[in-house]
Amino acid sequence: FWLKGRSLLIPKPSCARQPGAAMANLRMSRLAVLALAAPWVAAGFNCPPARHGANAAAVMMKGSEGTFLPVLTNQPPGTTTAMEVAIIAVHDHIADAETYFEDAVKAARGSGNLATTLVVAPAFPDQFCTSDMWAKGATAKSSQVSLALTWTGGLWMFGMTSDGTTGNEPSSFAALDAVITWVHEQYPGVKKIQLVGFDHGAEMLARWA
């Protein structure tokens, strides 16, 4: 099947936002349709990553201390090289971020734009993971151990809050907002951000937008 994404021009945030609130400072550009092949079989979420441990990074959740969202990226955090676009690829319901990371990298390479494209694939896990477990094979590691946000039963697709009992758990929409902010902070050379959803991931992006 074909997979749709929205092309967004996203200015750097100028003020703090409430978790899960709509992005007030988004400026929509033309709608883009990306064709990326989805695999027949996927492995699901692995902590640490089964194939891309060196690409693992952690987006720390501000306002929910001690938690993070796992992501994969083809450029190490802190890269200042000018890049034309960042692709944020949201996985299907099985949370196999690695396969969709590979597909996005392959698409960028096939178009001849990999050198100027940042690929970020967030994972919305359904199982226990810590930041040191996730970044086991990565060169850049967090100085503190944090717990990955988790969503039982695929509730991340609907923007629901993550698992927990503190009453301060961020929603999947807030987590996606945090990924966008993290891209701006860690990759200041990015000119445009493009979000791509896969099946249930596309549904989640439609609700988030």
User: To 5 degrees, how large is the angle CA 109–CA 111–CA 114?
Assistant: 40
pLDDT score, position 94: 86
User: Do residues 122 and 70 make contact, with C-beta atoms less than 8 angstroms apart?
Assistant: yes
pLDDT score, position 45: 93
Q: Is the pLDDT of residue 145 over 90?
A: no
pLDDT score, position 187: 96
Mean pLDDT of the chain, nearest integer:
81
What digits encode the pLDDT tens for the residues 61-112?
Answer: 988 889 999 999 999 999 998 888 999 999 998 889 999 999 999 999 999 9
pTM of the entire structure? 0.79
CA distance 177 to 109: 26
Q: Is the pLDDT of residue 200 over 70?
A: yes
Residue 132, φ and ψ in degrees, nearest 5: -75, -35
DSSP 177-190: HHHHHHHHHH-TTB
